[in-house]
Amino acid sequence: MGPTMKKFATLTVIGRDKTGVVARVTNFLFEQKANIEALEEQVTRGQFSMTLQASWKDRQMDRAAMQAGLARLAASLQMEITLRLTDPRRRQRMAILVTREPHCFEGLMRACRAGEIARAEPALVISNRRDLEPVARQHKLPFVVIPWNERAGAEARLLELLERHEIDFLVLARFMKILSPNVVWRYKNKIINVHPSLLPSFPGAQAYRQAYEHGVKIAGVTAHFVSMHLDAGPIIAQAGFVIRPNSSLKEIVAAGQKLESRVLVKAVKLYLAKRLDVHWGVVKQV
């Protein structure tokens, strides 16, 4: 007879910080015969966020009782609590956010087709424009346009889509919009961005132009986790290139773009291999 099968679930708790939240949630799970596999919590500017992974022995999980009990607990705590059944053996579901530059999106798709990103499944493409819809259709991926005229409404729609499609992590493939803490803390260390500079140099917009105007001799690109602070999240991977004397801005941009998709793919592969540990804002390979 084979080993006992387990059921797994991920709980997310979000709301205003208050005393006793961790104890009440973990005590409820104990009453529901759950084993806590991992727990991570943080408080930022008075906002509490916790992600908890739990498991049950076969047939010990009562999903209806779990949902009802969590709804009551959420109401009592005045917090948002979500439960998602998961299978640690399945491939991670990846959402790709794009605007109009295709090279990083296409690089991710090439890596997926070649089996380089075998542990992830592209599940959804989201954009604030329709420019790259043909590329998404070519790869038979759902493509959703969210107008970004008003960020709060746009992000509410984004979060609803991520939940509906059971997205595990996000990749910003030259997505030219800034995500607020309301999104970032829900996906802590699960949003990967590529920035066209060797961070911490030249954060923000027009990084290649900044490098050109400052006359730097080495430029490059950085893949990093998105944090509450613009272009300041933990660095996953970087690559650089030498700027020749009298290089034009156009030549610098072209050289950088050749590296962007490569570095982004490398960061995704490291993330999926579970070889990254973020400690005090610094990524370490384990």
> Domain range spanning residue 161?
92-285
Residues 154, 274 within the same domain:
yes
Band the pLDDT of 156: cuts 50, 70, 90. Answer: very high
Q: What is the pTM of this model?
A: 0.85
Residues 202, 183 within the same domain:
yes
Q: Using one digit for the tens of pLDDT, what is the confidence trace for 16-59?
A: 999 999 999 999 999 999 999 888 888 877 889 888 989 998 77
CA 25 to chain centre: 25
Determine, yes or no, domain membership for 153.
yes
Angle at 232 between CA 227 and CA 238, to 5 degrees: 110
Q: Using one digit for the tens of pLDDT, what is the confidence trace for 60-84?
A: 888 888 999 999 999 999 999 988 8
Residues 81, 141 within the same domain:
no
- Omega before 88 within 30 of 0, i.e. cis: no
Composition of the chain by helix, strand, coil, percent to 5: 35, 30, 35
Q: Which of 17, 58, 231, 277 is catalytic?
A: 231
What single letter denotes the amino acid at residue 28? F
Determine, yes or no, domain membership for 1.
no
Residues 189, 62 within the same domain:
no
Q: Using one digit for the tens of pLDDT, what is the confidence trace for 181-191?
A: 889 888 888 99
The domain boundary residue, chosen from 86, 111, 129 = 86
Q: Is the pLDDT of residue 286 over 90?
A: no
Residue 58 has a pLDDT of: 76
Residues 193, 107 within the same domain:
yes
Residues 140, 235 within the same domain:
yes
Determine, yes or no, domain membership for 229.
yes
Number of domains in the chain: 2
Residues with Cβ within 8 Å of residue 189, at least 6 apart in sequence: 225, 234, 276, 278
Band the pLDDT of 90: cuts 50, 70, 90. Answer: confident
Residues 81, 192 within the same domain:
no
- What CATH number is given to the structural domain containing 189? 3.40.50.170
- What CATH number is given to the structural domain containing 60? 3.30.70.260
Residue 87 is a catalytic residue:
no
Residues 159, 275 within the same domain:
yes
Mean pLDDT of the chain: 90
Residues 81, 150 within the same domain:
no
Residues 20, 153 within the same domain:
no
Residues 38, 59 within the same domain:
yes
Determine, yes or no, domain membership for 180.
yes
The one-character DSSP state at 212 is H
Give the full edge-to-edge strand order of the sheet including 191-195: 143-145, 120-127, 92-98, 169-172, 191-195, 218-225, 235-242
Residues 253, 167 within the same domain:
yes
